[in-house]
Structures are given as structure tokens and as C-alpha cells.
Amino acid sequence: MPLDPLLPVVVRWILAGLATYRLAELVALDDGPLRIFARLRGWAGCHPSDLIRENLAELLHCPYCLGVWFGLFCALLAMWPTLGGDLVLGAFGLAGAQAVLTGIRSQGGRHEMGGAGKAQRVELRYWEFLGGEVFTNPGNQALTLPAGCTIVEIDSEDGVCYYAINQGGAAPGSHGFVPLNGGRIIGPLSNLTSLTVHAPAATVHILYFREH
């Protein structure tokens, strides 16, 4: 025997809107458990020669684009209510309300990740994805920054990574450091002119953005 839905119609639609917001931010901006979303964004964004992955990367880095698809999903849950659908809307809707009320995200984005994958989030404008690349065991590798790039995401896999911004080469002991299987987001910096990475025992995923 099917279980009846729990929520009044108006409450369900309010939660659907908040759930859409939270789900889009979750996929586009958060690392997720075991950094699953960060790894997915890195996998999609580091293959500029693959048109499918390039388009997927643009989607995964755009909370507004994701909001359309998650909005459709949540609207279906609201229009044809079930107990399971109400539980999904309730859980993600409350999470969305918490994110809004505490001011963790107003328009989305992150400034620079803290240690152990913990992010310090600030209010940012829209980020345009400019592309990405991957390096295996780079030694003092100078990156070629795309025109207009103000934000760079560095993800280090299977090892640690050092980086240097607007100065000489990177080496062990450099101020910039990415921990094992961790990530850093650098910027937005209007004066970002050069970036060098050093990770002799790691695979480094680099993603480039422009803030609007």
C-alpha cells in the first residue's frame, strides 16, 4: 500500500525551490563526501580536447545551469507528491534554507580552501569556466593562464603540491601548498599574471575561471 505524502502544497513548493538551490550549489561548489563532486569537476574539466567533457565541465561549474535541471527534478517531486519525494524535498529544502540563513553562500563560490578539504566561503559573483589541464609529476611547471583568468583551482591527487603566485618557481617549502588528495582555489585576483606548480609525486588537475 503506497504511503501518503506528508507536506501541504505550498510548503512543498517552497522546499522545492530551496532544494533546487542547495543541490545546484552542492554539485557546482562543494567537494562532497570523499571529494566526489570535486573529482567529478576535475575529471570533466581537464580534457579540453574532448567536446563532451568540455560541455559537461561547463555545466558542472555553473550553479545557474544546474539549477534548471534540478529545478525540473524538484518540480516533478512537487507536482506528483509521494512520501519519498517529500522526504527528499524536506531534507534538501532545509539544507538550502540553512545555507541561505547563515549566509554561507549568497551567490555561490569559494575563495580559498582550508586544510583537510574545509572551505572558507565568501560571497562571489558568477564564475566562467575557461578550461583545464592535468599534469603528472610536474616539476616547477609554469602554467599558461588563459586570457582574463582570475581564479585557478588546483587539485592534487596521490601526492602533495606546492605552488607560487606571481613570483619565481615553486619548490618544497613554497608558501602555496595543496595537501595529499586536497584542493586549493586561488583568487579572485585581478593581478594574477603567473602561477607555477611543483608536485614530483602527484597528478595535478588545474581548472581556470574568470569572475563576472
Domain locations in the chain? 9-105, 116-211
Residue with cell 606546492: 162
| Phi, psi at 114, each rounded to 5° | -90, -175
Question: Which of 2.60.120, 1.20.1630, 2.40.390, 1.20.1420 is the CATH number of 116-211?
Answer: 2.60.120
pLDDT at 4: 55
Q: Which residues of the chain have pLDDT under 70?
A: 1-6, 45-50, 103-125
- The pLDDT value given to residue 125: 56
Distance CA 133, CA 149 (A): 14
**Please, what's the largest Cα pairwise distance for the chain?**
69
Going from the C-alpha of 78 to that of each of 1, 16, 116, 137, the distances in angstroms are 21, 7, 37, 49
Give pTM, 2 decimals: 0.59
pLDDT in tens, 31-48: 788 778 877 887 776 665
Query: How would you label 163-193 residue by residue, b for 16+ Cβ within 10 Å and e otherwise?
Result: bbbeeeebeeebebbbeebbbbbbbbeeebe
pLDDT tens, residue by residue, 107-121: 444 444 333 344 444
Instruction: Please tell me the distance from the alpha carbon of residue 7 to that of residue 81, in angstroms, as a whole number.
Output: 9
- Report the pLDDT value the prediction gives residue 41, as an integer from 0 to 100: 80
